Each structure stands twice: as C-alpha cells, then as structure tokens.
Amino acid sequence: MPNEIKARGAAAEIEKYLRGIALGGEWPESNALPTTRALGEKFGVANTTASRVFHRLEIEGLVWKQDNGRYFLESSRQLMHRPKPIACLTRELERWSGVYRAIMAGVSAYTSERQTALLLWRSESLVSHSDVNLPPEYGTLKQQATSLDDFERCYGESHGGVLIDDIWSDKALAQYPALLKNAVVLYRETELPGVGNVCIDTEAGSLLALTHLLARGYEELWIARPFRGDAAMDALVTDVAAIAEKTGTGSLVYHIKEAGTPEERERAVLIGDAQSSSSRVGVFCPEDNVSKSLYLELISQGVDCPGKVGLMSGMGTSVLTEENISTLSYDFREMGLRAAEMICSKESGQIKLRPDLLVKTTT
C-alpha cells in the first residue's frame, strides 16, 4: 500500500511537471520531452508510472508520440512528423489525357489536404501518343523494367507508397515485390496479390451501354475497338461482348469491329458496313477521341446519326463536349481521391467506380 500511494503521488507530480512544460510555452518544439526513464529517476518511481502519465496526456492532446517511441509536445507534430511522399509512376506529363488529368487532380487534392508531397516519376518509354487520332504505342516489357530499375535505384524506400499508371503491366510490376508493399494500380484491374486497385467497373459500364442502346431500338450492337493493348479498353470490349452474348440468346446480333484510324482500311470497312446495313445499328466505342473521330466521319459520309446509327462512347471526358456524343461517364477525380486515400491508410483492396449515363444527341 505505501508503494501504491507513493506511485500515485509521483504520477501526480510527473503530470504537473509535464503540464507545466506543455503549457509554459518555453520548451523547444524540436526537442523531445524527458524519457520515461529520466522521469522515473527524477521522481523516484518505475518507468511504467511515467509511461502511464504520458499516455493520459497523449489522449488529452498535450503530447505526441513519435514512431521511435519518444514523446514531443503536440504542437511539434507538424514540425516533426513529415510523411514520406507518394510516388506516382506515370506517363509523361505531356501525355496526360483528360482522364489522367482528372485522376491526378483527385490525388493532388487529397495529398494537399494531408500535406503529403507527391513524387512524380515519369517514364518516356511507357507510351507514345503524340496524335490522339492515332493508336498509342506502348513500351515493351524490357523498357518498363529498365524504368522500374531506375526508380528503385534512385528512390529505394524513400517514399510512402506508389500510385501506378494503368499502362504499367502486371508482368513487369511483379518483378519488383519491394515496390508493391504499399501500391495502388489505377484505372484498370490488376491481379497482383496484395496490391490496391481503384478502377472503372467495366461490367457495370457494359451493361449500362448495352441496355441504353437496346432501349433506343437499335437492332444490332457493334463494339468498336479503338485500338489494342490498353488493358481498360480491352476489358470494356470483352465485357460488352460477354454481356451481349448472355443477353442476346439469338435475338441480339452483335459484332466486334475494329475502329482503327482514319488512314486504315478497318475504319473504312466500319463506315461502309454502317452505310449498307439493313438494320439500325448501335455502336459502342470505349475511347472518347476515337468516338469523336468516328462520329465526324459518319456525319461526313452522310450516315444518319442517331436515326440509322447510334453512337456511344465510354469515358465521358471533355473531348466529347462540343459534339454532344452519348457516353458513359466516370468520376475520375474521385478515382484519384480514393487511390490516394488507400495509399495513405496503407490498406489494400479493390474499389470499382460505377459509371453514369449521359444521353446526348447521338443516341
């Protein structure tokens, strides 16, 4: 009993001492508070007594415990606790599409609020897409590996997590397990174990697009593939085809058409088939730039849109604003916010963003 009384008395003295420091305004914010051992020796009690006092004051908000176990004044948290920057493994800034600008606006908004810095690591070898009317050229597996080698050599683990552009392939990323300890892949789905993922819900988008075109009375569904090699675009094409297959059961005719580029025969074939078709055709093209180009060509060739051909796009960026093209629309800024939140919380998982339907004059 005497020892217990002594400990309570000492705890009160330690608390009075620490409160005096915290409220006195003279203790340097950059200096750690006395250790539990020093306080125990000063007041003649066990370290655990001082530790319990620190814990109470931490709950109260007067002191703050750093990761190394030392206590500081709560007011020093902003000065001392500087989170590591989030590394963004992205394509070149000049290659940021409307989608990617919106995603990164969300990332920036979240990290700015938390006062977390962004480290932009751009890779010139990821993608070349200087002309939106032409298919992008993607970096090889070897080029991606070289860029990832360079990143690890330059920054190692000096970052707090990694946001990964959808253009990086799972095959390349899987070779760098240390890089993926706290990582999120954007826009497309990933099969990398333990890696976070914030992507578009391609299945929900496909069902929404198909339902809309059928409701508008189009008798055939054409899925216009804009180009090959983009994981998110490929997934949308595959999912629309799969849902059309399930839904059709013989009554719905669907085809996968290659949208190509204006100079390629594939685009000309698609336009010619649309002109000669005896049915009303609903065309779904997942990529906005190709959708816009396809629409302008249909109009220039005298195809009645939406009477003969209905056209839908799959992203909903500002590219379509002037042309009033019907489209799926995803909140890409929200994608960036959720991805940054996942990185900062160090919790992996998958978030799928569902689309809205924007009906314009082309359907």
As a whole number, mean pLDDT of residues 73-87 equals: 77
Q: Which range scores top for mean pLDDT: 42-51, 106-115, 351-360?
A: 351-360
Q: Is the pLDDT of residue 319 over 60?
A: yes
The class of domain 202-329 in CATH terms is alpha beta
Q: Is the pLDDT of residue 103 over 80?
A: yes
Give the model's pLDDT for residue 247. 67
Instruction: Kindly state the helix (H) or strand (E) to which residue 265 belongs, with its residue range.
Output: helix 265-276
Give the model's pLDDT for residue 139. 81
- 88-102, 216-230, 296-310, 333-347: the lowest-pLDDT one: 88-102
Please list, residue by residue across 75-105, b when 16 or more beta carbons sit within 10 angstroms of its beta carbon and e when fewer do.
ebeeeeeeeebbbbbbbeeebbbbbbebbbe
Distance CA 249, CA 55 (A): 66
| CATH superfamily, region 86-201+333-354 | Response regulator (3.40.50.2300)
As a whole number, mean pLDDT of residues 231-245 equals: 83
In the chain, what percentage of residues exceed pLDDT 90?
A: 40
141-181 pLDDT tens trace: 899 999 999 999 988 888 989 999 888 899 999 999 999 99
Q: Is the pLDDT of residue 293 over 80?
A: yes
pLDDT grade for 222, boundaries at 50, 70 and 90: very high
Give the model's pLDDT for residue 259. 80
Fill in the amino acid letter for 214: L
Instruction: Kindly state the helix (H) or strand (E) to which residue 64 belongs, with its residue range.
Output: strand 63-65
Residue range(s) in the chain whose domain bears CATH number 3.40.50.2300: 86-201+333-354, 202-329
Give the model's pLDDT for residue 361. 95
**Of 333, 351, 347, which is closest to residue 183 (Cα–Cα)?**
347
**Of 319, 342, 327, 332, which is closest to residue 102 (Cα–Cα)?**
332
Give the model's pLDDT for residue 172. 92
258-278 pLDDT tens trace: 887 656 678 888 888 888 989
Q: Is the pLDDT of residue 48 over 60?
A: yes
Q: Is the pLDDT of residue 249 over 50?
A: no
- 32-36, 148-152, 195-199, 241-245: the lowest-pLDDT one: 241-245
Q: What is the pTM (predicted TM-score) of this model?
A: 0.75
Residue range(s) in the chain whose domain bears CATH number 1.10.10.10: 2-80
Q: Is the pLDDT of residue 309 over 80?
A: yes
DSSP state for residue 56 in the 8-state scheme: H
The class of domain 2-80 in CATH terms is mainly alpha
Q: Is 43 helix (H, G, I), strand (E, B) or coil?
A: helix
Mean pLDDT, the chain, rounded, equals 86
Q: At what angle do helices 265-276 and 288-300 cross, to 10 degrees?
A: 50
Give the model's pLDDT for residue 263. 61
Specify the higher pLDDT residue, 96 or 190: 190
